[in-house]
């Protein structure tokens, strides 16, 4: 029998309706309640869960006390197993409770962990379980930057059902983003890659009427990696490789170690520095004559360079002309932007100016896209 | 059919027909051959030179069935197939499912064309050469190009001819090292990218702007001295005409690149605008789309590639020319830089004949009227579909379309959970086709409707009624839609058996090796 | 609205009042409004330069019948033409089925409403597989030449090598198609045939195989009709070097000759024309490629492959196999392309094979073989005429050399034509090494009387 874990962050998304961005911290929550905001995510979670009712007898639903999932599950018509009654209160919960619940779900070896919340909740889940189990977010927050959520509560529910039934799904790593909420409230977007969750996604089947089907994400990444490795990696040139699963594919193709979340440096086919800081990058960039930067857009909104990029800061970017920057992206990632440009917000207007406009993106082997990149 | 609601109580034929191998009866014969005459046997009896290892020791395991049984089996299968002749085939957008006039079938069945050998002396085939020659000239008139090759067996193969010509042209002009990039758009047919790669090019794709037209700014950034060619479609599969097309071709010409026009969507603009004036060096047509030759379940088709004078020397050979003195038609093989052969012999002759007959039946005014009515029909459907709850069409808001529209059921999905694939399955319950779209699905939950000029207003209204009904069900009774089809030939197919090498069976013998009875997996002995 | 406006039978909404209703529903004033997006400079201001229309069906029919009457057919003459396209008998049921509207006008429906097409093509794949004794056959590609070219590319992807060997003695058109299809990234070397036997020169082949060789392609029977008996040895040489063997066959021979899979072929390909397709001036072709059920090979097909699956109601269901074809090599090399090719001919070939059955295909092979032998014997007896490769076994066709007669093939064929006989294909420009030669071909439709008529005619002409 498949085990489904459910964690609801009861306060996620409350800020949005009353014009606040996010609900991190008790002060903001209190303010939101004052302004008349009501909890949002429980109803979203219920919507997702209702799609799983038809298989409720074939799965074990494991959740947590009161507002953290028990209420929603019961309301939906499930008879869940409720854990951690001793540790988690039925009424008021905090971040620590999410962390605890997620760790428990991991211990319970759930086949899928559904969580309702926003970027903050996704970060908490990541912190607790990393990529050790498959998780999927039910969107309930404000604007979401992490790519670990379904597009809607219904879709999350449907996808969960398919996954638990072993039908038409695969897994992939998707980004968990860290947004500085304070800055965000001031209209400044920073998006930092925080981690990756392993999420299910649906393999669509469309008749191969006229052409081959779209390459799977993984094969696409391998194609990009093969192209770069074969054609663009020259000797005596320093390559700075940014975080992401596509850049990871390149490191694998080159047979090198790497950090998924950090910046690595390659020279003459060897890894010469791993997970470097801005300081190290600045030193390296000034030391080497020929330098190139290889990056990939991060998160569900196509973020390329942001103030949140701790390592690839404007000072580092100043070393590169447009021709020295390679942007790698699978076609699927670009399509998900639905025509919106890639985003950047380095905080340095000159750099933003130089880089914005149209830029060539490597999307496969000998395949490129001319895409718009715009400063926030 | 209920003439008020315009809905039918349709059920597709459902024969539950066995696989042909299950119908075998040892000894039955479907057709007999003439016996080898005694005179021949007398002469050859001692001269069998075949060594024993080259003689097949067994008989091929084929079904053994008498004639009527074979006929019955295939006729039943044909009843389980929804040809354009039987349904309102406007749901297979981009495929241009037009009426294939039966008189053209009669003409093609004529032994005076079906019993011609390709190597016959030219004096004995003047009739068929005349047809090919005249078709070439008719297509020149429609496109403004200077010469056509009718050798390709389909649209993708026509794109292949174009890719070959581009490469040959670069070799001839010594530019293979300096020009290695081809530019195309995301809505162009995927074969453009596939062919470009096959021919060793890098391919740069540009996306549309907000209005759905390819973004000119992106093109400006993509074009460089390395640009060998632009391969573009206009209007694109979403049905929007790019008014700036001449700027596109001028820009590519300014860096010495070639411009190729994928005219799979010719049906909405023939007689109204042409490849030549839009600045193209090459174009191609699908005879089994715009020119009403049949689709045949996926072929045989026919592709016609047209080029301007300077590229004529690169066309595949042979082409048909007419001797100005004797007025005789002949096959010309000696084009100086020809890409050689793409296909056996000269082209899909029956399709060429049918397409040419279609052109002759309509003439200039009729061809133009076909385009005008195709566009009228499409805009009528456009208006009607947009007023259906849950449907939308991205781009170019408020503007008309040309001959097809790409719509989206995204709103319907958000409100009901019903997807375009679900709607597809329910459409079959009303006896019509519906195709979502090729990947990539830039437009979410897509469907493309291409009415063409072949269907009457009544039929278009029926299709609308069906769509409205299904949407109504999506809101009121989504399960009915999600578990469809209910009235088709078979029920839901299990796709798991198609992707797993352990499970898949592409032939009956493969199935028998892996399974007993009905998909009971056999224990494989190592 | 124009009262003289033509109403076209193919265009229902060419009726004026219907157009008015529709424009009203749209809210547009005229159809011209829809074309406002086309700039004036690009609009055609005059009608297309096409001939006058033949609006009535009777005029259309009459016109075309008149044009086509200028053709002389293989039914009206005795034909000995072959070379990749042959005058086999097409059973009436084959025509009956491929003319069915339901198949003829269908295209790309799903396995539900177009179940018939999926089943018919699965059955074609199945029967073809038995004919060539392999487990996997594709939904047909354009023709045999494309099948050969694609098989070669599949082999290069599987072996990850780019040097290709091709036999000299294959169909010249296939050779040209392969040449173009291999451009720019594959390197082709042609392996000569032994002039004595007309078969692959084993020694030359061995010397040309290297560790960079991906594949060797040859046809059996060859374009010139010779049957190569060394398949096993060839396979050994190739497999020892890690290369693959691709063999092109004539399906009409497979009831008689050993299928190449039994002597080591990795991919078998060919053209379906002999299986129920009329000559059509070379315009009815279908290509097939067959392999064993090995995942590595299956994933390299660019074509569609229909497989059988269960349904929720325990019916026979079908669908596309190996959807993603995510092979290692796909990421770099385009998996070629797939498009509308020759599906209806696949269905037709299936009907043909079902009608013929195992006995029929065996008889067909023997029939053709014996007729070919007979003609060879009789022609060889004519003065000045030689059959250079007479010692080699042939199937269906053979080279006849006329050097000793003092006449050119052109002259001889002209004289035969006057006697309502289509003489063999003139090889003097295609294969100058064979001198004034022609390729004479027979099928099961050529009678002893036809052949005797030819002999008598040649006797007169060469006297």
- The per-residue pLDDT for range B404-446, each reduced to its tens digit, is 999 999 999 988 989 999 999 999 999 999 998 877 788 889 9
What's the mean pLDDT in B346-357?
97
What's the mean pLDDT in A160-176?
84
CB contact under 8 A, B495 and C39: no
For residue C112 the two structure tokens come to 């539900």
Domain final residue pick, B339, B360, B381: B360
pLDDT beyond 80 at A27? no
Question: Residue A307 has what pLDDT?
Answer: 57
Relative to beta strand A264-267, strand A238-241 is antiparallel
In CATH, what number is assigned to the domain containing residue B133? 3.40.640.10
Residue B207 shares a structural domain with residue B356: yes
> Which chains does chain B touch, 3 or more C-beta pairs < 8 A?
A, C
Query: Are C105 and B294 within 8 A, CB to CB?
Result: yes
pLDDT tier at A44, thresholds 50, 70, 90: confident
Q: How far apart are CA B146 and CA B308, in angstroms?
A: 5
pLDDT tier at A29, thresholds 50, 70, 90: low
Is cis: bond before B235, omega within 30 of 0? yes
Q: Which domains does chain C have, with CATH numbers?
A: 6-42 (no CATH), 78-87+362-462 (3.90.1150.10), 92-352 (3.40.640.10)
Query: Are B10 and B16 within 8 A, CB to CB?
Result: no
CA distances from A200 to A156, A169, A218, C246 (A): 10, 6, 14, 41
CB contact under 8 A, B197 and A207: no
pLDDT averaged over every residue in chain C = 94
CB contact under 8 A, C116 and B200: no
Best residue of C357, C364, C408 to probe chain B, by most B CBs closer than 10 Å = C357
What's the mean pLDDT in C306-332?
78
- Chain C residues lying within 8 Å of B32, measured CB to CB: 360
Considering just the CA atoms, what is the radius of gyration of chain A in Å? 22
What's the mean pLDDT in A22-45?
67
Count of domains in chain B?
A: 3
How many CB contacts within 8 angstroms connect chain B with chain C? 715
Q: Which residue has the tokens 């990056």?
A: A295
pLDDT beyond 70 at A190? no
Lowest model confidence (mean pLDDT) among B40-44, B160-164, B477-481, C90-94? B40-44
Residue B240 shares a structural domain with residue B296: yes
Residue B198 shares a structural domain with residue B142: yes
Task: Give the torsion sign (CA, B429, B434, B437, B438).
Answer: positive
The SS3 call for residue C68 is helix
Lowest model confidence (mean pLDDT) among A19-23, B253-257, C413-417? A19-23
Residue B307 shares a structural domain with residue B273: yes
Report the Cα C38 to chain-centroid distance in Å.
42
Type and span of the H or E element at B204? strand B202-206
ipTM: 0.96
pLDDT beyond 60 at C226? yes
pLDDT tier at A213, thresholds 50, 70, 90: very low
Half-sphere exposure of B370 (CA within 13 A, CB side): 26
Query: Are C186 and C162 within 8 A, CB to CB?
Result: yes
- Chain C residues lying within 8 Å of B435, measured CB to CB: 108
Burial grade of C418 (CB within 10 A; 0-12, 13-18, 19 or more):
exposed
Task: Give the torsion sign (CA, A253, A257, A262, A267).
Answer: negative
Lowest model confidence (mean pLDDT) among B182-196, B307-321, C25-39? B182-196
pLDDT averaged over every residue in chain B = 95
Residue B170 shares a structural domain with residue B69: no
Best residue of A369, A373, A374 to probe chain B, by most B CBs closer than 10 Å = A369
Residue B268: CB partners within 8 Å, gap ≥ 6? B235, B239, B371, B374, B375, B378, B402, B403, B404
- Chain B residues lying within 8 Å of C378, measured CB to CB: 43
Q: Which residue has the tokens 């003195």?
A: B325
Q: Which pLDDT tens digit goes with each residue over B487-502?
A: 999 998 988 898 888 9
- Chain B residues lying within 8 Å of A152, measured CB to CB: 414
Question: Residue C338 has what pLDDT?
Answer: 77
DSSP H stretches of helix in B199-328: 216-222, 245-254
- Chain A residues lying within 8 Å of C337, measured CB to CB: 211-212
Residue B73 shares a structural domain with residue B146: no
- Chain A residues lying within 8 Å of C335, measured CB to CB: 212
The SS3 call for residue A8 is strand
The SS3 call for residue A90 is coil
Domain final residue pick, B360, B383, B399: B360
pLDDT tier at A310, thresholds 50, 70, 90: low
Position B477 in a domain: no
pLDDT tier at A24, thresholds 50, 70, 90: low
Half-sphere exposure of C282 (CA within 13 A, CB side): 24
Position B488 in a domain: no
For residue C307 the two structure tokens come to 């497989």
Sheet holding A59-63, edge to edge: A81-82, A59-63, A2-8, A112-117, A135-139
> Is C338 within 8 Å of chain A by CB?
yes
Q: How far apart are CA A181 and CA A190, in angstroms?
A: 9
Find the angle CA(A9)-CA(A15)-CA(A20) to the nearest 5 degrees. Answer: 145
Residue of A nearest to B494 (CA): A167
Residue B299 shares a structural domain with residue B354: yes
- For chain C, the straight-line distance linking the first and the last C-alpha, in angstroms and rounded, comes to 75
> Which chains does chain A touch, 3 or more C-beta pairs < 8 A?
B, C
Residue B173: CB partners within 8 Å, gap ≥ 6? none
CB contact under 8 A, A367 and B191: no
How many residues are there in chain A?
A: 376
| Residue of B272, B369, B372, B242 whose CA lies nearest to C45 | B272
pLDDT tier at C329, thresholds 50, 70, 90: very low
pLDDT tier at A87, thresholds 50, 70, 90: confident
Question: Residue C411 has what pLDDT?
Answer: 96
Nearest-CB residue to B438 (from A168, A209, A366): A209
Nearest-CB residue to B101 (from C10, C100, C102): C10
- Angstroms from C118 CA to nearest CA on chain A: 12
CB contact under 8 A, C50 and B363: yes
Domain final residue pick, B307, B326, B360: B360
What's the mean pLDDT in A245-252?
93
Lowest model confidence (mean pLDDT) among A79-93, A348-362, B189-203? A79-93
- For chain A, the residues whose C-beta falls within 8 A of a C-beta of chain C are 205, 207-213, 215-216, 218-220, 222-223, 226-227, 364-365
Nearest-CB residue to C371 (from B40, B111, B119): B40
Lowest model confidence (mean pLDDT) among A191-195, B39-43, B472-476? A191-195
Paired residues of A174 in beta bridges: A197
Half-sphere exposure of A284 (CA within 13 A, CB side): 27
Nearest-CB residue to B436 (from A206, A335, A367): A206
Q: Which domain holds residue B66?
A: 12-32+62-81
- Chain A residues lying within 8 Å of B414, measured CB to CB: 152, 154
Position B132 in a domain: yes
Q: How many CB atoms lie under 10 A from the CB of residue B200?
A: 15
For residue C398 the two structure tokens come to 């053979």
Residue B77 shares a structural domain with residue B108: no
Nearest-CB residue to C330 (from A207, A210, A219): A219
CB contact under 8 A, B489 and C10: no
Q: How far apart are CA A138 and CA A13, in angstroms?
A: 11
What's the mean pLDDT in A126-137?
93
Nearest-CB residue to C22 (from B53, B106, B457): B457
Report the Cα B223 to chain-centroid distance in Å.
30
CB contact under 8 A, C331 and A222: yes
Position B383 in a domain: no
Residue B181 shares a structural domain with residue B304: yes
Position B71 in a domain: yes
pLDDT beyond 80 at A327? yes
Query: Are C406 and C369 within 8 A, CB to CB?
Result: no
Residue C59: CB partners within 8 Å, gap ≥ 6? none
Question: Residue A165 has what pLDDT?
Answer: 86
Best residue of B345, B463, B507 to probe chain C, by most C CBs closer than 10 Å = B507
Residue B77 shares a structural domain with residue B125: no
CB contact under 8 A, C331 and A211: no
Find the angle CA(C31)-CA(C34)-CA(C40) to the nearest 5 degrees. Answer: 105
Is cis: bond before A25, omega within 30 of 0? no
| Residue of A68, A151, A12 whose CA lies nearest to A20 | A12
Position B434 in a domain: no
Relative to beta strand A112-117, strand B329-332 is unpaired
Q: Which pLDDT tens digit goes with each residue over B267-308?
A: 999 999 999 999 999 999 999 999 999 999 998 999 999 999
Position B372 in a domain: no
The SS3 call for residue B72 is helix
- Chain B residues lying within 8 Å of A335, measured CB to CB: 440-442
More confident residue, A306 or B304: B304
Question: Residue B232 has what pLDDT?
Answer: 96
Residue of B nearest to A167 (CA): B496
Q: How far apart are CA C352 and CA B74, in angstroms?
A: 11
- Chain B residues lying within 8 Å of C144, measured CB to CB: 344
Residue B143 shares a structural domain with residue B185: yes
| Residue of A112, A206, A97, A104 whose CA lies nearest to A156 | A112
Nearest-CB residue to B54 (from C229, C317, C324): C229
Query: Are B26 and B65 within 8 A, CB to CB?
Result: no
CB contact under 8 A, B438 and A367: no
pLDDT beyond 80 at C324? no
pLDDT beyond 60 at A360? yes
CB contact under 8 A, B30 and C378: no
- Angstroms from A83 CA to nearest CA on chain C: 38
pLDDT tier at A333, thresholds 50, 70, 90: confident
Residue B280: CB partners within 8 Å, gap ≥ 6? B145, B249, B259, B260, B261, B308
> Which chains does chain C touch, 3 or more C-beta pairs < 8 A?
A, B
Backbone φ and ψ for C277, nearest 5 degrees, come out as -110, 135
Nearest-CB residue to A212 (from C108, C325, C331): C325
Position B399 in a domain: no
Residue B228 shares a structural domain with residue B274: yes
- Angstroms from C339 CA to nearest CA on chain A: 5
Lowest model confidence (mean pLDDT) among B217-231, B486-500, C198-212, C415-429? B486-500
What's the mean pLDDT in A223-228?
93
Global confidence as pTM: 0.92
pLDDT beyond 90 at B340? yes
More confident residue, B392 or A142: B392
Backbone φ and ψ for B357, nearest 5 degrees, come out as -60, -35
Q: What percent of chain A has pLDDT over 90?
A: 45
- Angstroms from C334 CA to nearest CA on chain A: 9
- Chain A residues lying within 8 Å of C304, measured CB to CB: 208
Residue C131: CB partners within 8 Å, gap ≥ 6? B60, B62, C251, C254, C259, C353, C361
Residue of C nearest to A219 (CA): C331
């Amino acid at each position: 029998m498949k085990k489904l874990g459910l964690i609801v962050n009861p306060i996620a998304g409350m800020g949005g309706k009353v014009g606040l961005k996010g609900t991190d911290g008790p002060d903001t929550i209190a303010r939101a309640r004052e302004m008349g905001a009501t909890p949002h995510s429980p109803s979203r979670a219920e919507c997702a869960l209702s799609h799983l009712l038809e298989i409720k007898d074939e799965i074990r639903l494991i959740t947590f006390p009161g507002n953290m999932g028990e209420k929603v599950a019961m309301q939906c018509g499930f008879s869940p197993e409720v854990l951690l009654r001793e540790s988690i209160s039925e009424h008021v919960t905090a971040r620590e409770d999410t962390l605890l619940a997620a760790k428990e779900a991991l211990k319970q070896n759930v086949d899928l962990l559904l969580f309702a919340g926003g970027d903050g909740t996704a970060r908490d889940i990541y912190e607790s379980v990393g990529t050790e189990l498959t998780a999927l977010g039910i969107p309930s927050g404000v604007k979401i930057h992490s790519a670990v959520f379904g597009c809607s509560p219904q879709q999350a529910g449907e996808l969960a059902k398919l996954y638990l039934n072993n039908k038409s799904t695969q897994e992939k790593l998707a980004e968990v983003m860290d947004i500085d909420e304070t800055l965000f409230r001031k209209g400044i977007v920073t998006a930092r890659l925080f981690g990756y969750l392993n999420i299910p996604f649906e393999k669509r089947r469309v008749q191969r009427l006229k052409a081959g089907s779209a390459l799977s994400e993984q094969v696409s990444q391998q194609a990009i990696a093969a192209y770069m490795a074969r054609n663009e990696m020259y000797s005596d040139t320093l390559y700075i490789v940014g975080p992401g699963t596509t850049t990871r594919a390149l490191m694998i193709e080159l047979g090198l170690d790497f950090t998924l979340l950090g910046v690595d440096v390659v020279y003459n086919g060897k890894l010469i520095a791993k997970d470097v800081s801005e300081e190290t990058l600045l030193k390296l960039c000034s030391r080497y004559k020929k330098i190139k930067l290889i990056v990939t857009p991060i998160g569900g909104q196509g973020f390329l360079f942001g103030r949140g990029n701790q390592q690839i800061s404007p000072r580092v970017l100043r070393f590169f002309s447009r021709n020295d920057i390679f942007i790698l992206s699978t076609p699927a990632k670009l399509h998900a932007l639905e025509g919106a440009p890639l985003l950047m917000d380095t905080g340095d207007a000159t750099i933003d100016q130089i880089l914005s406009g149209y830029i060539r993106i490597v999307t496969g082997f000998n395949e490129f896209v001319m895409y718009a990149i715009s400063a926030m | 059919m209920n003439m008020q609601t315009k809905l039918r109580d349709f059920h597709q034929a459902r024969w539950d027909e066995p696989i042909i191998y299950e119908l075998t009866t040892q000894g039955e014969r479907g057709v007999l051959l003439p016996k080898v005459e005694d005179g021949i046997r007398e002469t050859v009896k001692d001269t069998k030179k075949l060594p024993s290892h080259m003689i097949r020791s067994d008989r091929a395991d084929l079904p053994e069935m008498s004639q009527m049984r074979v006929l019955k089996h295939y006729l039943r299968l044909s009843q389980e197939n929804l040809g354009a002749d039987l349904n309102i085939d406007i749901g297979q957008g981009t495929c241009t499912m037009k009426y294939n006039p039966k008189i053209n079938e009669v003409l093609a069945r004529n032994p005076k064309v079906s019993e011609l050998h390709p190597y016959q002396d030219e004096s004995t085939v003047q009739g068929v050469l005349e047809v090919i020659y005249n078709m070439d000239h008719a297509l020149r008139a429609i496109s403004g190009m200077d010469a056509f090759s009718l050798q390709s067996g389909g649209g993708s193969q026509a794109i292949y001819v174009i890719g070959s010509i581009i490469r040959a042209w670069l070799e001839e002009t010594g530019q293979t090292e300096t020009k290695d990039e081809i530019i195309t758009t995301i809505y162009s047919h995927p074969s453009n990218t596939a062919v470009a790669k096959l021919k060793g090019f890098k391919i740069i794709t540009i996306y549309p702007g907000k209005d759905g037209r390819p973004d000119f700014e992106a093109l400006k950034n993509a074009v460089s001295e390395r640009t060998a060619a632009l391969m573009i479609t206009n209007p694109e599969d979403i049905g929007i005409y790019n008014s700036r097309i001449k700027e596109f071709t001028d820009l590519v010409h300014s860096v010495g690149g070639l411009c190729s026009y994928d005219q799979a969507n010719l049906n909405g603009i023939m007689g109204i605008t042409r490849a030549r004036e839009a600045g193209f060096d090459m174009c191609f047509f699908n005879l089994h789309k715009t020119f009403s030759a049949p689709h045949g379940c996926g072929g045989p088709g026919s592709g016609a590639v047209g080029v301007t004078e300077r590229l004529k020397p690169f066309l595949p050979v042979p082409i048909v020319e007419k001797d100005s003195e004797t007025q005789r038609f002949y096959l010309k093989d000696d084009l100086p830089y020809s890409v050689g052969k793409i296909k056996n012999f000269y082209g899909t002759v029956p399709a060429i004949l049918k397409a040419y007959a279609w052109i002759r039946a309509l003439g200039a005014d009729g061809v133009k009227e076909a385009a005008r009515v195709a566009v009228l029909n499409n805009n009528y459907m456009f208006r009607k579909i947009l007023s259906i709850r849950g449907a939308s069409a991205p781009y170019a808001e408020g503007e008309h379309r040309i001959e097809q529209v790409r719509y989206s059921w995204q709103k319907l999905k958000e409100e009901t959970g019903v997807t375009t694939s679900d709607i597809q399955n329910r459409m079959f319950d009303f006896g019509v086709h519906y195709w979502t779209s090729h990947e990539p699905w830039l437009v979410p939950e897509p469907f493309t409707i291409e009415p063409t000029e072949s269907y009457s207003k009544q039929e278009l209204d029926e299709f609308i009624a069906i769509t409205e009904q299904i949407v109504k069900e999506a809101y009121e009774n989504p399960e009915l839609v999600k578990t469809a089809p209910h009235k088709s030939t078979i029920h839901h197919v299990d796709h798991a058996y198609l992707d797993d090498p352990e499970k898949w069976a592409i032939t009956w013998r493969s199935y028998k090796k892996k399974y007993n009875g009905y998909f009971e997996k056999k224990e494989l002995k190592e | 609205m124009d009262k003289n406006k033509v109403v076209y039978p193919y265009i229902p909404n060419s009726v004026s009042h219907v157009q008015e209703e529709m424009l009203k529903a749209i809210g547009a004033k005229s159809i011209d409004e829809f074309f406002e997006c086309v700039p004036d400079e690009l609009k055609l201001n005059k009608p297309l330069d096409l001939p006058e229309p033949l609006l009535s069906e009777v005029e259309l029919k009459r016109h075309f019948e008149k044009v086509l009457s200028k053709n002389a057919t293989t039914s009206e003459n005795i034909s000995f033409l072959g070379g990749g396209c042959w005058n086999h008998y097409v059973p009436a049921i084959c025509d009956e089925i491929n003319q069915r509207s339901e198949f003829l006008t269908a295209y790309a429906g799903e396995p539900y409403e177009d179940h018939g097409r999926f089943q018919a093509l699965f059955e074609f794949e199945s029967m073809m597989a038995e004919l060539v004794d392999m487990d996997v056959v594709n939904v047909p590609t354009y023709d045999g030449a494309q099948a050969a070219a694609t098989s070669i590319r599949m082999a290069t992807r599987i072996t990850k090598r780019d040097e290709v060997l091709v036999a000299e003695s294959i169909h010249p058109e296939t050779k040209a198609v392969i040449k173009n299809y291999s451009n720019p990234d594959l390197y082709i070397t042609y392996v000569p045939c032994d002039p004595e036997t007309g078969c692959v020169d084993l020694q030359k082949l061995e010397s040309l195989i290297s560790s960079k060789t991906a594949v060797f392609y040859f046809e059996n029977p060859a374009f010139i009709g010779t049957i190569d008996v060394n398949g096993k040895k060839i396979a050994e040489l190739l497999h020892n070097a890690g290369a693959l063997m691709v063999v092109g066959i004539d399906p009409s021979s497979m009831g008689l000759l050993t299928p190449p899979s039994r002597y080591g072929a990795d991919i078998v390909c060919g053209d379906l024309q002999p299986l129920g397709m009329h000559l059509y001036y070379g315009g009815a072709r279908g290509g097939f490629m067959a392999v064993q059920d090995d995942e590595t090979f299956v994933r390299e097909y660019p074509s569609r492959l229909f497989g059988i699956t269960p349904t929720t109601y325990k019916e026979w269901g079908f669908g596309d196999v190996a959807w993603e074809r995510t092979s290692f090599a796909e990421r770099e090399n385009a998996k070629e392309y797939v498009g509308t090719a020759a599906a209806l001919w696949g269905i037709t070939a299936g009907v043909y094979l079902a009608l013929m059955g195992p006995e029929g295909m065996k008889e067909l092979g023997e029939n053709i073989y014996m007729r070919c032998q007979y003609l060879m014997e009789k022609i060889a007896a004519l003065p000045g005429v030689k059959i250079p490769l007479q010692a080699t076994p042939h199937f269906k066709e053979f080279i006849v050399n006329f050097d000793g007669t003092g006449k050119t093939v052109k002259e001889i064929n002209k004289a035969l034509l006057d006697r309502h006989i289509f003489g063999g294909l003139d090889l003097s420009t295609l294969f100058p090494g064979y001198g004034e030669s022609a390729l004479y071909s027979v099928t099961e439709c050529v009678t002893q009387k036809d052949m005797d008529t030819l002999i008598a005619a040649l006797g007169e002409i060469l006297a």
